[in-house]
Amino acid sequence: MTSTSSGPAYTIQTARTLLRCWSPADAARALRAIHASLEHLRPWLDWAREAYPMSVSQQAAVLRRFRGRFDLGEDFTYAVFDRGGTEVLGGCGLHPRVGEGGREIGYWIASEHIGQGLATEVAAALTRVAFELEGLRRVEIHCDPLNVRSAAVPRKLGFTHEGTLRQRLRSPDGGWRDTMLWTLLAEDHAARPAAASNLEAFDVLGQRLL
């Protein structure tokens, strides 16, 4: 059910998670989850390798920038909390860096919570928001072919593997690594698993959007 309110979705509730726009006040909790997961994240995410460790004040500044860009409609980076909103389980985003009418879904899950299907649940929710609320025509997920857990997410959700971009990004050892490109189009969304995911989405005033 869709309300007359307009997006973006500042808060999204799924069966097991609460996604919401980051706040600088989340810095300490975010930092605990990230620092505890660095060994798990660094092989795949440049920011985990290049920016951490950092202080709480530095983390707050990062989250302040996330919030500012969210409020300006420039980029949409979310915290992933447990349903009660107390523990940081990871992070995700709908990033407008893949061309007009498209968004790229990004996600990471804290090492303590991997293997529970949370990344798939989160990506499914963002896919619904992208198509049903934002009215986009294309959603992409990019991942390293060696990151088996990450590649399983778009596969489970019915995305199409359009191809693998060879030697696309730098690897931690200074070499080059490939990037898989997964996509889903608006006309195919209704027939894919993400369309059946349970969620509620709310705007900045708490009014229901989806």
Cα-based angle 143, 149, 154 (whole degrees, multiple of 5): 60
112 located within any domain? yes
2 located within any domain? no
Q: Is a pLDDT exceeding 90 seen at residue 5?
A: no
Residue 74 belongs to domain spanning: 11-202
Tokens of 178: 């490939």
Q: Where are the alpha helices (DSSP H) in the chain?
A: 27-35, 38-41, 46-50, 56-71, 118-128, 148-156, 186-189
Per-residue pLDDT, 172: 65
CA 138 – CA 42 distance, rounded (Å): 28
Contact 49, 172 (CB under 8 A): yes
The CATH number that applies at residue 86 is 3.40.630.30
* 136-172 pLDDT tens trace: 999 999 999 999 999 999 999 999 999 999 987 767 6
* 84-105 pLDDT tens trace: 999 999 999 999 999 999 999 9
CA 175 – CA 88 distance, rounded (Å): 32
* 56-85 pLDDT tens trace: 999 999 999 999 999 999 999 999 999 999
pLDDT band with cut points at 50, 70 and 90 for residue 1: very low
Model's pTM, two decimal places?
0.93
CA 173 – CA 179 distance, rounded (Å): 16
53 located within any domain? yes
1 located within any domain? no
Per-residue pLDDT, 6: 65
* 173-191 pLDDT tens trace: 678 889 999 999 999 999 9
181 located within any domain? yes
* 17-35 pLDDT tens trace: 999 999 999 999 999 999 9
Q: Is a pLDDT exceeding 50 seen at residue 4?
A: no
Question: What contacts 36, CB < 8 A, 6 or more positions away?
Answer: 110, 111, 112
210 located within any domain? no
208 located within any domain? no
Per-residue pLDDT, 167: 85
Q: Based on the structure, what is the number of domains in the chain?
A: 1
5 located within any domain? no
Helix/strand/coil percent split, the chain, to 5: 35, 30, 35
